Chains A and B, each alone.
Chain A
Amino acid sequence: MSAEANNPAVETTNDGATPDLNEAAPLASSMPFREERFFLVLAIFIGVFAGLAVVCFRITIEWIRLELLGSALTPDRIRMLLAPTLAGLVVAVLVLRFFPEVRGSGVNQTKAALYIYNGFIPFKTAIGKFITSALGIGSGQSLGPEDPSLQIGASIASALGRRLRLSRDRLRLIAPIGAAAGLSAAFNAPISAVLFVIEEVIGRWTAGILGSVVLAAISSVVVARWFLGAEPMFSIPAIQVRSPAELLAYAALGIVGAFASAVFAKSISFLRPRVQSLPWNTRYFQPAVAGLLVGVIGYFGFPQVMGPGYAYMDQALHNQYTWQLLGLLAGLKILATTLSFSSGSPGGMFAPTLFIGCMLGGAVGGLEQHFFSHLTGSIGTYCLVGMGVLFAGFLRAPMTSVFMVLEVSGDYSIIVPVMVANTLAYLISRQLQPMSILDMLSRSSGVQLPSMEEQREEVVLRIEDAMRPVRVPLVYGQEQIATALERVADSPDSYVLVDNRPEGWCVIKKQALPIAQGDTLRGTTVAAILPPMRTPQVYPDLPLELALRNLRDWPFLPVVHRAEPQQLLGVISLNDVLAAYRARSSYDHHDVGAGILA
Chain B
Amino acid sequence: MADLDLSVSPQRTVPPGPPPPSTTPAWFERRAVLLFGLVLTASVLFAATYFINSRFEVRRRALGEYWFKKGQAEVAARTGNAVEDFRNALAYSDGDNFQYRLRLAQALSRSGRADEAIAYLESLWEREPGNGTVNLELARLKARQHQVADALRFFHGAIYGIWDDDPEQHRRTARFELIQFLLQQGSRTQAESELVALTPEAITPDLQVRVAGLFVQVHDFRRAMQLYDRALRSDGSNPEALKGAGEAAYNLGQYAAAARYLEAAVHHGVQDPATTQMLQVSDLMRQLDPYEPRLSGRTRAQRVIAILAQVGSRLRDCAAASAQTLPGDSSGAWLQQAYKRWLDVSKAATEHHLMRDEDLIDSTLNTAFDIDRQVSANCATKAPVDTALALLSRERDQAEP
Contacts and interface: CB of A to CB of B under 8 A. Distances in A.
B38 A45 contact: yes
A378 B119 contact: yes
Given A41-B35, A319-B119, A553-B10, A55 B53 contact: yes
B46 A52 contact: yes
B42 interface: yes
Contact of B8 (A73, A74, A320, A508): A508
Interface stretch (B84-92, B241-249, B270-278, B389-397): B84-92
Interface stretch (B16-24, B196-204, B211-219, B299-307): B16-24
Interface string A313-344: 01101111000000000000000000000000
A507 B6 CA distance: 9
Contacts of A31: 19, 27
Most B CB contacts (10 A, CB to CB) among A31, A63, A237, A554 go to A237
A512 B49 CA distance: 75
Contacts of A73: 84, 87-88, 91
A516 interface: yes
A26 interface: yes
Nearest to A238: B126
Given A71-B67, A530-B6, A26 B17 contact: yes
Interface stretch (A95-103, A228-236, A392-400): A228-236
Contacts of B88: 71-73
A12 to B, nearest CB: 14
B123 A236 contact: yes
A131 B343 CA distance: 110
Contact of B53 (A59, A231, A529): A59
A53 to B, nearest CB: 8
Contacts of B16: 26
A27 B19 CA distance: 9
Interface residues of B, number: 53
A379 interface: yes
Contact of A507 (B8, B122, B126): B8
Contacts of A495: 8
Contacts of A229: 94-95
Contacts, number: 123
Interface string B67-111: 100000000000000001001101110111000000000000000
Interface string B2-18: 00111111101001111
Contacts of B122: 237, 378
Nearest to A45: B38
A38 interface: yes
A100 to B, nearest CB: 27
Contacts of A74: 84
Q: How large is the interface on A (under 10, 10 to 19, 20 to 34, 35 or more residues)?
A: 35 or more
A74 B87 CA distance: 10
B56 interface: yes
Nearest to B115: A319
Contacts of B5: 512
A237 B45 contact: no
A529 B6 contact: yes
Contacts of A27: 17-18
Interface string B41-78: 11001100110110010011001001100000000000
A227 B91 contact: no
A533 B92 CA distance: 72
B49 A52 contact: yes
Interface in A145-194: 164
B123 A56 contact: no
Contacts of B49: 52, 55-56, 227
A31 B31 CA distance: 12
A54 to B, nearest CB: 10
A531 interface: yes
A311 interface: yes
A488 B175 CA distance: 102
B14 to A, nearest CB: 10
Given A56-B52, A236-B123, A45 B42 contact: yes
A380 interface: yes
A43 to B, nearest CB: 12
Nearest to B43: A48
A34 interface: yes
B163 interface: no
B87 A512 contact: no
Interface string A11-51: 00000000000001111011100100010011001001100
Nearest to B5: A512
A533 B119 contact: no
Contacts of A555: 8
B100 to A, nearest CB: 12
B119 A512 contact: no
A380 B119 contact: yes
Contact of A509 (B6, B17, B46, B92): B6
Most A CB contacts (10 A, CB to CB) among B5, B7, B66, B87 go to B7
Most A CB contacts (10 A, CB to CB) among B15, B17, B50 go to B15
A62 interface: yes
A236 B123 CA distance: 5
A235 B126 CA distance: 10
Contacts of B206: none
B9 A553 contact: yes
7 closest Cβ contacts across the A-B interface?
A319-B119, A531-B7, A318-B119, A231-B95, A553-B9, A229-B95, A26-B15
Given A235-B123, A311-B90, A319-B119, 14 more contacts: A45-B42, A52-B42, A55-B49, A66-B59, A74-B84, A237-B123, A237-B126, A319-B116, A320-B119, A379-B119, A380-B123, A508-B6, A529-B1, A531-B6
17 contacts: A26-B18, A31-B19, A38-B31, A45-B42, A52-B46, A55-B49, A59-B53, A66-B59, A230-B95, A238-B126, A317-B119, A378-B122, A507-B8, A515-B4, A529-B1, A553-B12, A555-B8
